[in-house]
Amino acid sequence: MTNMYNMPFAPFIGINLHGQSFMLGCMFVRQEMETSFDWVFGAFLEAMNERAPDNITTDQDVAMKESIKNIFPTSVHRYCRWHIMKKAQEKVGWLLGRNPGLSEDFNLCVDFSFTPDEFEQNWAVLMMKYEAITHTHFEKLYEYRNTWVPCYFKHRFFSFLQSTQRSEGFNAVLKRYVNPHKSILNFVKQYHKIQTHILVKEGCNDYRTEHLDLDMWSQFPIEKQAYKTYTRDLYCKFRDEFSMIGRYNAFQICVETFELKPNMEWVVKYGSRNYLVLAKIPEGQFSCECTKMERDDILCCHILKVFTHIGLDVIPE
């Protein structure tokens, strides 16, 4: 709401095959009402040849939430975690200061609950341990838990984000190109310049993928396959994940189940707990209970460890 017309602006941001942000469009609205958003999302749907997004992440705007239900009934709508945590910090910061360990226990409950049932159990333990948090904003967080807690979205693909941080980043770029006191026509011209800048960057990423070599972490055939399959940036994410297989030992505990035990006290991103991997080897189907931790479209190190443990040479399709 910083332009001369006092109209809220919001971009539609997507993620390309490099994991790079790109613009699908943007909107100006006169009023942040459900009817206004109905028009916005309807126009977006028309521009996308009637293809609705599989998943969409926004802030906690109530009117936008209702409009998404109206126009994108099949899309999974998720609230921005960053906004939720920022608001929570403002509401309960004093509680965190008076209760050492609360912040860590809260994050463990949110990040390391693999299923909704496990989250419910861990939340109950949290409430019993810290009686001071009853009748506070923590209960509000629990009330709409299925809109932001990761375990409620483990069955969906959210590419490299749990928040609207990419939109926030785009807003920062926009401010370098656009003078809020200029006209809408000027904005459109500058918007095209930003689009050109993004396309040039995507072209550079294409070139780096096709022509520049990277050092691989190992000689495992699976890593060689990933090197040939992924773009450069996604391969780097895969390599980082794959390099963590040495931090776990794999034990087959029944025909189709492996237990992954950390060989150190704490593993970055995964904590200190064990993980179970279901491996239907003849069918080429593998799943890990850590999928809620949203390793995006990059397989987790637990499944990759099982691959190397059983001598699998390629990643099943």
58: enclosing H helix or E strand? strand 55-58
Residue 148 lies in a domain: yes
Q: Is a pLDDT exceeding 70 seen at residue 163?
A: no
Please give the tally of structural domains in the chain: 3
Q: Is a pLDDT exceeding 50 seen at residue 176?
A: yes
In this predicted structure, what is the pLDDT of residue 294?
47
Mean pLDDT, the chain, whole residue set: 87
Residue 131 lies in a domain: yes
User: Higher confidence at residue 293 or residue 111?
Assistant: 111
Say whether both 43 and 124 belong to one domain: no
State which of 98, 119, 153 marks the end of a domain: 153
Q: Report the range of poorest mean pLDDT among 101-115, 182-196, 292-306.
A: 292-306
Say whether both 75 and 167 belong to one domain: yes
Which residue is associated with the tokens 């943007």?
A: 26
Residue 208 lies in a domain: no
Cβ atoms of residues 2 and 180 within 8 Å? yes
Residue 206 lies in a domain: no
Say whether both 128 and 169 belong to one domain: no
pLDDT, one tens digit per residue, over 250-270 is 999 999 999 999 999 889 888
37 pLDDT band, cuts 50/70/90, is very high
In this predicted structure, what is the pLDDT of residue 293?
46
Say whether both 43 and 66 belong to one domain: yes
Q: Report the range of poorest mean pLDDT among 82-86, 203-207, 219-223.
A: 82-86
- Cβ neighbours of residue 119 under 8 Å, at least 6 residues apart? 109, 110, 113, 145, 149, 151
Q: Report the range of poorest mean pLDDT among 1-5, 47-51, 125-129, 178-182.
A: 1-5
In this predicted structure, what is the pLDDT of residue 165?
58
Q: Would you say the pTM of this structure is higher than 0.95?
A: no
Residue 214 lies in a domain: no
Residue 158 lies in a domain: no
Residue 286 lies in a domain: yes
198 pLDDT band, cuts 50/70/90, is confident
Say whether both 52 and 27 belong to one domain: yes
Q: Report the range of poorest mean pLDDT among 96-100, 157-161, 219-223, 307-311.
A: 157-161
In this predicted structure, what is the pLDDT of residue 271?
86
Q: Is a pLDDT exceeding 80 seen at residue 156?
A: no
16 pLDDT band, cuts 50/70/90, is confident
Q: Identify which of 113, 115, 154, 80 has the alpha carbon closest to the alpha carbon of residue 126.
A: 113
Say whether both 246 and 167 belong to one domain: no
Say whether both 147 and 91 belong to one domain: yes
Sign of CA dihedral 275, 161, 86, 143: negative
In this predicted structure, what is the pLDDT of residue 164?
55
4 pLDDT band, cuts 50/70/90, is confident
Say whether both 33 and 109 belong to one domain: no
What backbone torsions phi and psi does residue 277 show, to the nearest 5 degrees?
A: -115, 125
Residue 215 lies in a domain: no
Q: Is a pLDDT exceeding 60 seen at residue 296?
A: no
Say whether both 64 and 181 belong to one domain: yes
295 pLDDT band, cuts 50/70/90, is very low
Say whether both 230 and 306 belong to one domain: yes
Cβ atoms of residues 16 and 22 within 8 Å? yes
Q: Is a pLDDT exceeding 90 seen at residue 239?
A: yes
- Cβ neighbours of residue 67 under 8 Å, at least 6 residues apart? 34, 37, 38, 40, 41
Q: Is a pLDDT exceeding 60 seen at residue 200?
A: yes
Mean pLDDT, to the nearest integer, of 304-315? 90
pLDDT above 70 covers what percent of the chain? 92
- Angle at which helices 232-242 and 221-229 cross, to 10°: 160
In this predicted structure, what is the pLDDT of residue 167?
62
Helices (H), the chain: 34-47, 62-71, 81-98, 102-111, 116-129, 137-143, 165-177, 184-211, 221-229, 232-242, 301-310
Q: Is a pLDDT exceeding 70 seen at residue 93?
A: yes
* 3-class secondary-structure state, position 38: helix
Say whether both 274 and 193 belong to one domain: no
The CATH number of the domain holding residue 26 is: 3.30.420
Q: Is a pLDDT exceeding 70 seen at residue 2?
A: no
Domain limits for position 103: 81-153
Say whether both 114 and 131 belong to one domain: yes
